[in-house]
């Protein structure tokens, strides 16, 4: 059996044993389809990518051929790529500004498709990190609700190399306060903690596919 499948099963069993029901988004960015394929053949259907262009090349064809394939955009999205993103992705995790939200509203109308979205929150108040500031979250959420952009939950990437638990706890609190049902947090190094704190979508890359050469 391929290593990738074994890695995946290990994570799935770990969640099951702890009675956690988080969806595993297999983050396949930078990896070729040949590398990813064993997991598709094994039956997994939920994948994450961080770049629209790369994802289009990799997944457009398969999306038409495979039933139930569910693609998640987890990387930051430039407004000018909103339309391409809406065409390909079922979920977009990186809504973080009014400008982007308004482009997504326009794109949905133009294409005639509704998608699901997470608002990315800058929980660590980091200068260069994407994500909306906590103080601006309510304004953005209200805008999305008014314009019928379906926000399903909040997403965060905690600061690197510090204990993520306080940030996961904070995001969960904000999520509950906003009355949202899903929550996107947890990566290879901290998915169990995130799942334990209520994450419904963990984004796991290297722990499934191996180390990435770029990024
Ligand atoms: C790359 C990436 C991941 C997966 O990272 P790993 O540490 O390899 O699991 C998760 N979330 C986001 C936003 C990413 O860009």
Give me the sign of the Cα torsion angle 15, 52, 32, 57: positive
Q: Does domain 3-209 have CATH number 2.60.40.1180?
A: no
pTM confidence score: 0.97
Which sign does the torsion angle of CA 120, 122, 168, 13 carry? Answer: positive
State the pLDDT at residue 215.
59
Instruction: Give the per-residue pLDDT at 143.
Output: 98
Atom of ligand 1 nearest to the CA of 203: 10
Give the Å distance between the CA of 50 and the centre of ligand 1.
Answer: 8
pLDDT score recorded for residue 2: 80
Question: Residue ranges of the alpha helices (H) in the chain?
Answer: 3-17, 33-42, 52-65, 82-88, 98-111, 137-146, 165-177, 191-196, 206-209
Which residues line ligand 1 at a C-beta cut-off of 6 Å? 27, 29, 50, 74-75, 157, 187-188, 203-207
Candidates 202, 201, 207; CA nearest to 191 is: 202
Q: Which atom of ligand 1 is nearest to the CA of 157?
A: 13
CA dist., res. 11 & res. 100, Å (int): 34
- Reported residue count of the chain is 215
**156 Cα–ligand 1 center, Å:** 11
| Whole-number Å distance between alpha carbons of 153 and 200 | 9
Per-residue pLDDT at 125: 93
First to last CA, the chain: 27
pLDDT by residue for the chain (215 residues), tens only, comes to 789 999 999 999 999 999 999 999 999 999 999 999 999 999 999 999 999 999 999 999 999 999 899 999 999 999 999 999 999 999 999 999 999 999 999 999 999 999 999 999 999 999 888 999 999 999 999 999 999 999 999 999 999 989 999 999 999 999 999 999 999 999 999 999 999 999 999 999 999 999 998 65
Taking the centre of ligand 1 as the mean of its atom positions, its distance from the CA of residue 15, in whole angstroms, is 18
Q: Whose CA is nearest to atom 6 of ligand 1?
A: 205
What is residue 214's predicted lDDT score, i.e. its pLDDT? Answer: 67
Query: Of 215, 170, 179, nearest to 197 (Cα)?
Result: 170
Distance (Å) from CA 27 to ligand 1 centroid:
6
Question: What are the sequence ranges of the domains in the chain?
Answer: 3-209
Residue 208 CB contacts under 8 Å (≥ 6 apart), including other chains: 4, 7, 8, 11, 24, 26, 27, 39, 188
Question: What pLDDT shows up at residue 79?
Answer: 96
Confidence (pLDDT) at 129: 83
């Amino acid at each position: 059996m391929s290593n990738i499948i074994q890695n995946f099963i290990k994570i799935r069993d770990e969640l099951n044993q702890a009675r956690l029901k988080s969806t595993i988004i297999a983050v396949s960015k930078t990896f070729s389809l040949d590398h990813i394929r064993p997991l598709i053949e094994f039956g997994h259907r939920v994948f994450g990518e961080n770049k629209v262009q790369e994802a289009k090349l990799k997944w457009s064809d398969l999306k038409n051929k495979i039933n139930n394939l569910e693609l998640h955009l987890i990387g930051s999205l430039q407004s000018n790529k909103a339309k391409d993103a809406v065409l390909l992705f079922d979920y977009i995790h990186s809504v973080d500004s009014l400008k982007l939200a308004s482009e997504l509203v326009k794109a949905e109308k133009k294409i005639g498709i509704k998608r699901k979205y997470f608002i990315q929150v800058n929980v660590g108040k980091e200068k260069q990190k994407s994500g909306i500031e906590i103080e601006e979250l309510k304004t953005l959420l209200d805008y999305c609700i008014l314009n019928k952009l379906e926000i399903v939950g909040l997403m965060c990437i905690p600061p690197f190399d510090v204990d993520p638990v306080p940030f996961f706890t904070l995001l969960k609190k904000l999520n509950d306060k906003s009355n949202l049902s899903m929550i996107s947090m947890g990566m290879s190094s901290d998915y169990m903690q995130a799942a334990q704190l209520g994450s419904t979508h963990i984004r796991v890359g290297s722990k499934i596919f191996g180390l990435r050469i770029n990024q």
